[in-house]
Amino acid sequence: VPKSDASPKQSEDLRSPICCIMGHVDTGKTKLLDCIRGTNVQEGEAGGITQQIGATYFPAANIRERTKELKADATLKVPGLLVIDTPGHESFTNLRSRGSGLCDIAILVVDIMHGLEPQTIESLNLLKMRKTEFIIALNKVDRLYDWKARRNSPIGMTLKKQTKDVLSEFNRRVTHVITQFKEQGLNTELYYKNKEMGETFSIVPTSAVTGEGIPDLLLLLVQWTQKTMVEKLTFSDEVQCTVLEVKVIEGLGTTIDVVLVNGVLHEGDQIVGPIVTSIRALLTPHPMKEIRVKGAYMQHKEIKAAQGIKIAAQGLEHAIAGTSIYVVGPDDDLEDIKEAAKEDMQSVMSRIDKSGEGVYVQASTLGSLEALLEFLKTPEVNIPVSGIGLGPVHKKDVMKASVMLEKKNEYATILAFDVKVTPEARELADELGVRIFIADIIYHLFDQFKAYIDGLKEERKREAADEAVFPCVLKILPNCIFNKKDPIVLGVDILEGILRVGTPICIPQREFIDIGRIASIENNHKPVDSAKKGQKVAIKIAGSNTEEQQKMYGRHFELEDELVSHISRRSIDILKANYRVGSEAEDPLQNSLNITTKWTGALLLVSGKL
């Protein structure tokens, strides 16, 4: 357990705020974490930083030491800061604890050289959804051309040392990022200019390489949380605890890694999650400087929030990452607590599509599952979900997803977010024809699914092409009757629409008598697949194979008769489903309806089904 900070200024009743780091890949999240962890703090002066399970703890004394140049260290009320160790991982940053976000505050990292990137926006949406406060670290300032680094310096002091050119480049880039945030509906400002914290989000320029701006970031995190979140940070007896991961550890069996957000846990406490059990051991890693025995942990009688802890107990293999752990107190009713524990799961279940048609979604934690469901529901995405699962994709999940093969084939798909697929599940999926898309970034899943659906549409369009009848009206050109029958060969003027090989042709004036299908088209003596309104072409019409059903120019139709594509209800449906396009002029469906209207009720009557 981290030694409690001895400063008299600290309030006994506040717990450490919990912070996570989010942002686009390669913006420097890991490096930033390493940097604030103090790999750049001199040897022997690690300043009480302790490695915990899934998190790093920074005691107030360490933060005070590192921010002294800012001369603002007078009042640190919180005992320290707990930073979640897995940066950028939605399944961690999106965890909840009893309804609210697990993290009290987040650092959203943006690369000053790149500005906002897709995952920045995805992180932003998660933060908005969770209503989580955040500070923007505008990282990699050292990459500005001609930057003069001053290691671990507050940003104000280092900016004073820069040339005019560097400053103007810095300002230009900051302004650009502020504009980009504005486009996302957010007001942001450099933190030292920000007069309306809370409404305007603060930007701290940083470098994870030189440590510049890190003092500012640490101080702002602590000051902002202790100023605005007193209630949330007030120590309570009620345990608030969230499962980060379920892990098998040699010698301990299945354990859970948790973040104890508030309250105290004791060895022997009866706990309720998806299971009811008792804590056998409360474990943390050995402090860094002690001899590290592989796999050995420090055992505790009790642990006070906020901390990252490993819990060993019976039956933990049934625990679910992302759910809350409840402790049964002496006056509590076990059944009530079991009910409360179930609610976490039910709130997610309620988001599933009621129609029963939709894809199957699988995620690593309840929090990430919820985030994914939320995303799939947004109007731009709009993918219905019929089933959900947590943890690795097993055969049973493939079985469940395969129900859609019959109902709506394209939904026989598993969107697997940040989870593994067992080889047996993969095999079964291949056998049944269930598709599995895997990604660890939400929007990549969407991209994959969308690409698949688009491909499917193209394929259907190709398949439908044979049956799709594009409407056209043809006028026979005089002196261009090359062959009267078997086959009919004529020169025609295309009055309306598109003429394509394969189009069935009828004569509306003569009770819609069918004369055959277009077998070929020639434009200027060259064979073509299609021709448009205004063109004059030669066509060959292949009729029926039987002599008596063959139609003939001069007997069944005459020069003055218009030749029209024979449109049926089915061909209209195919056009509708596959060829509908935005503009009316090009829309074959619209054209077909116009032509249908031209031939009024007659066509409707003859095709019977319209």
Rg (CA), the chain: 34
Binding part of the chain for ligand GDP, among 205-213, 256-264, 278-286, 305-313 by CB under 6 A, reads: 205-213
From residue 87, alpha-carbon distances to 79, 94, 125, 205, 292 in Å are 23, 11, 17, 19, 25
Residue with Cβ nearer ligand GDP (41 or 489): 41
Instruction: Give the total residue count for the chain.
Output: 610
DSSP-based three-state secondary structure for 72: coil
Q: Does 257 bind ligand GDP (CB under 6 A)?
A: no
Q: Does 113 bind ligand GDP (CB under 6 A)?
A: no
Cis peptide before 487 (omega within 30 of 0): yes
Q: Does 106 bind ligand GDP (CB under 6 A)?
A: no
Residue with Cβ nearer ligand GDP (207 or 364): 207
Closest approach, Cβ 116 to ligand GDP, in A, equals 14
Closest approach, Cβ 88 to ligand GDP, in A, equals 6
Residue with Cβ nearer ligand GDP (209 or 282): 209
| CB distance 263 to 303 below 8 Å | no
Residue with Cβ nearer ligand GDP (170 or 326): 170
Q: Contacts from 164-173 at CB under 8 Å and sequence distance 24+? A: 169/144, 169/145, 170/112, 170/141, 170/144, 170/205, 173/112, 173/113, 173/115, 173/144
| CA distance linking residue 224 with residue 275, whole number of Å | 37
DSSP one-letter string for 87-150: TT-HHHHT-EETTEES-SEEEEEEETTTBS-HHHHHHHHHHHHHT-EEEEEEE-GGGSTT----
Candidates 142, 245, 370, 561: give the one binding ligand GDP (CB under 6 A).
Answer: 142
| CA distance linking residue 224 with residue 196, whole number of Å | 12
Q: Does 139 bind ligand GDP (CB under 6 A)?
A: yes
Residue with Cβ nearer ligand GDP (27 or 226): 27
Candidates 52, 207, 284, 323: give the one binding ligand GDP (CB under 6 A).
Answer: 207
Q: Does 440 bind ligand GDP (CB under 6 A)?
A: no
DSSP, res 434: -
CA nearest to 143, candidates 188, 189, 210? 210
Residue 321, H or E segment: none
Q: Does 209 bind ligand GDP (CB under 6 A)?
A: yes
Candidates 17, 28, 308, 491: give the one binding ligand GDP (CB under 6 A).
Answer: 28
Residue nearest to ligand GDP (CB): 28
Q: Does 89 bind ligand GDP (CB under 6 A)?
A: no
Q: Does 420 bind ligand GDP (CB under 6 A)?
A: no
| CB distance 273 to 324 below 8 Å | yes
Candidates 64, 66, 140, 551: give the one binding ligand GDP (CB under 6 A).
Answer: 140
CA nearest to 505, candidates 478, 536, 470? 470
Count of positions on this chain that bind ligand GDP (CB under 6 A) = 17
Q: Does 86 bind ligand GDP (CB under 6 A)?
A: no
Residue with Cβ nearer ligand GDP (25 or 298): 25
Tokens of 297: 């942990």
Tokens of 110: 């943006």
How deeply is 451 buried, as exposed, middle or buried, from its count of CB atoms within 10 A (0-12, 13-18, 19+)? Answer: exposed
* Footprint on residues 506-535 left by ligand GDP (CB under 6 A): none
Binding part of the chain for ligand GDP, among 66-74, 207-215, 551-559, 572-580 by CB under 6 A, reads: 207-215
DSSP one-letter string for 26-56: TSSHHHHHHHHHTTTSPTT--TT-EEETTEE
Q: Does 31 bind ligand GDP (CB under 6 A)?
A: yes
Residue with Cβ nearer ligand GDP (31 or 435): 31
Q: Does 208 bind ligand GDP (CB under 6 A)?
A: yes
Closest approach, Cβ 243 to ligand GDP, in A, equals 24
Q: Does 432 bind ligand GDP (CB under 6 A)?
A: no
Q: Does 200 bind ligand GDP (CB under 6 A)?
A: no
What sign results for the dihedral spanned by CA atoms 445, 448, 450, 456?
negative
Q: Does 25 bind ligand GDP (CB under 6 A)?
A: yes
| CB distance 554 to 537 below 8 Å | no
Tokens of 386: 């019929």
Q: Does 213 bind ligand GDP (CB under 6 A)?
A: no
Residue with Cβ nearer ligand GDP (88 or 508): 88
Q: Does 26 bind ligand GDP (CB under 6 A)?
A: yes
- Cα angle: 360, vertex 121, 445; to 5 degrees: 25
Closest approach, Cβ 121 to ligand GDP, in A, equals 15
Candidates 10, 16, 27, 242: give the one binding ligand GDP (CB under 6 A).
Answer: 27
Closest approach, Cβ 207 to ligand GDP, in A, equals 4
* Footprint on residues 444-463 left by ligand GDP (CB under 6 A): none
Strands 50-52 and 55-59, how do they pair? antiparallel
Residue with Cβ nearer ligand GDP (31 or 66): 31
Residues of this chain that interact with ligand GDP (CB under 6 A) are 23, 25-31, 87-88, 139-140, 142-143, 207-209
